[in-house]
Structure 1
């Protein structure tokens, strides 16, 4: 019975997350393109991004990158000099980069909790971890395609760390990464709840949601603690300060 309920929760969570991804992913991807370009050039001093865009390729939506060499590359004893005329064009499925965040959100929604407040907190912190998950994926996978060109041309037997990481992600690693983040949120949700209530500078959004939920629970008689906003009432103290980035 428990397994059936969990399977149903997973199914409903997957449908909800996939619907949300299909709704917002294009706008999200376009907004993240400048950050992705900066990340690629930060991790790889040998290449630069000449163009990065989201395009349609038949029935697929792909991430298209045009890149050049800004510093000479030595591979298998062969030297490829920096040449402003040289260009490499890489295309890869765009939605693949959202696998890990989607899995993390599905797990955060579906796994049972003793406190209903844990679910929105999990979702908020899963959203906060969206950028680290993407940073561990898309820049390295795109950049790995460039290094594959050098390896295949000059050192077919060479093994590079970035290629190993890229192969791991493309062969199930994204699901593993998403599951790891989802399970982390499951174990960390009680801690997140306490820290959100007592340390507002740690997450202003979480604190505001916590206060609203606590007040709603107090009115309904389901929660027995109150929130103190310097008005003398007992309970959890939340110190309001202007948010600074």
Structure 2
């Protein structure tokens, strides 16, 4: 299961059935769970904990120091859950003491080639990142979000659950749950209806979210008036409450 050319530190902890390809490097402090495979030439370093049944492909670089001039070698971390696919040339940097101190990836995420997660990013579950998505530091991505190829995300941006971006999108502000965005700079283009259907949201819920979208983006209402209207709509559509909660926590302001 371990290729003879792989270099693995005696201070790394690998489950018995972990497989490691040719010329991979696994440094001290790394922990890797059952059923995970590490591809050729992959480099995993630092205080990095990887869960079960992940597939990490060739040339991935995980756990490297953050690209942050303030970093002084503090013992920060990367945490990766279970069942993730991490393709070629993905780079995942560890956290900083200015934030959570950990870059965290949940479960069952699909991360395509050349994706970059900078320091302190927090990635949920069941997300998809198409080729060459680039996330700056401190970005949060909630469950089931899908980012199209070459999506660029500004630092501290929050991307809501079930949202979707088109290819070549630049996101400088928070993207609310369920909303589709595209363009450079990003503009909203409706609710992610197709994704919600695939995840078996009810027709009533999708209709309620479409109504909420029109209120927020097409009614001409100012933000305060739009939020009051969404508050009323949330009584009939609980999913609208998710949008309201997201907006209330936004630090950069939402895409609008």
TM-score range for the pair, normalised by the shorter chain length = under 0.3
Q: Which has the higher contact order (CA 8 A, sep 6+)?
A: 1
Structure with higher Rg: it is: 1
TM-score with structure 2 setting the length = 0.22
Structure (1/2) with the larger helix percentage: 1
